[in-house]
Amino acid sequence: MRATLDDPFAQLSGPLAGTRQLHLEVVSTQLLTPHMQRIELTAPELDGFRYAPGQDVMLLVGAEGSRPVRRRYTIRHLDARLQLLTLDIVRHGDGPGERWVRSAQPGDRVEGIGPRGKITPSPSADWHLFIGDESAVPAIFAMTELLPGDSVATLVLEVPGPDDEQDLVAAARARVSWLHRIGGQPGDPAALVAEAAEVELPPGAGHAYLLGEASVVLRLREVLAGRGLPEAQMSPKAYWGRGRANAGHGEPARDA
């Protein structure tokens, strides 16, 4: 599919200031786990491209009538010298993003904008706590892998089953707890909320990154706030909303 970005995203101003338009071409695609697809893309605009771990690119994945549909995917890795961008994308449902992921083949072209996103590792944190579902694994791994070697990180990740676990290679002292849904419904807050209520919060000024389904992220904020973690030390981000498609700009609607 070849598509062209239309207004308002054709003008890289306002919230898009500092981003680039990317004329991307799919290089390869492979299934990492039963629910995670890795897609590698290239573009001349990736030469000198800079981003912070946790940021994403917004792709124009299709259209609904005359309305362009975009989805945002975390930058899992970038080799600027080779102009190679790696995206790890959760496969679920049958929306426009899922259809693009399933059909993507080497040589396909797609328009993108990036980098986007404000949630990146806090440089002043004494420790880091990452909590999320499978949609958050690429961002959480990308952030954890680039933490300094003297950093302490705890990861609590809920995925469909054991085959959805991935190996983390990080210099930081990182501990990963995998929760397996095993037939449960995505977006059910019970398991992650229970872990948030019990997970160790070490001494010092730590930072929590809460990523995933919108209502679950809200519950996680409430639980950690109830345990005394200040709002300033939490970075919540909803990637999707249970029972509703993301808006055309690639994120959950504001009221999700």
CB of 60 closer than 8 Å to CB of 3:
yes
Given its phi and psi angles, is residue 62 left (phi above 0), alpha (psi -120 to 50 degrees) or beta? Answer: left
Distance CA 32, CA 25 (A): 20
Is pTM beyond 0.85 here? yes
- Per-residue pLDDT tens digits of the chain, which is 256 residues long: 444 444 445 556 567 778 999 999 999 999 999 999 999 999 999 999 999 999 999 999 988 887 889 999 999 999 999 999 999 999 987 889 999 999 999 999 999 999 999 999 999 999 999 999 999 999 999 999 999 999 999 999 999 999 999 999 999 999 999 999 988 889 999 999 999 999 999 999 999 999 999 999 999 999 999 999 999 999 999 999 875 655 445 455 554 3
Beta strands in the chain (DSSP E): 20-33, 36-42, 56-64, 67-79, 84-90, 109-116, 128-133, 152-159, 173-180, 207-213, 234-240
pLDDT tens for 91-134 read 987 889 999 999 999 999 999 999 999 999 999 999 999 999 99
Domain positions in the chain are 14-116, 128-240
Structure tokens that stand for 43 in this block: 């573009």
Please state the CATH superfamily assignment of the domain spanning residues 14-116 in this structure. Answer: Translation factors (2.40.30.10)
Q: Which fold has domain 128-240?
A: Rossmann fold (3.40.50)
